[in-house]
Amino acid sequence: MEKTRIVYCKDDDRKGKHEHTSFDFLEYTFRPRHAKNKYGKFFTNFLPAMSEKAKKAIRKVVRGWKLQFKPDKDLWDIANMFNKQIQGWINYYTHFYKSEIYEVLRYINGRLVYWTRQEESTRTENRKLYLLRHYIQEGRSPLIGQNQASF
């Protein structure tokens, strides 16, 4: 990949066709995008937004958190562990075209929903084991609900 190239900054005033119409810089992709002027009219402008490479890197970091191996943590622990990093991403990537980060935030939310369901499942399993031990200690069958000593 070549480091230097000339890029055509296509917008409403420049409508020509060229080979290179976008470039990446500081984890932003600069390319023609739709924008709205102060009168509410849409037009095409050459604007930066979060790059696909940055989105992929953030998803890789979130996978590296290995939330699936943290069912013992509660939501406050998870929030304390990762909120500063997520807030940093939001602060950096929402200066320009903030809708581009929504896909990544939905991914993070999906991972948290998965973690929550897994945690709920673990809590349910622990509760079932507790009840099973309780029934066994009393000499009762959890399936029938009758006292085993009467047989």
3-class SS at 42?
A: strand
Going by the DSSP 8-state scheme, the letter that residue 147 receives in this structure is B
pLDDT band at 144 (very low <50, low <70, confident <90, very high): very low
Low-confidence winner among 1-5, 116-120, 128-132 (lowest mean pLDDT): 128-132
pLDDT band at 104 (very low <50, low <70, confident <90, very high): very high
Give pLDDT tens digits for 45-62: 878 889 999 999 999 999
pLDDT band at 6 (very low <50, low <70, confident <90, very high): confident
Q: Where are the domains of the chain?
A: 1-49, 51-150
pLDDT at 93 over 80: yes
SS3 content of the chain, % helix, strand, coil (to 5): 50, 15, 30
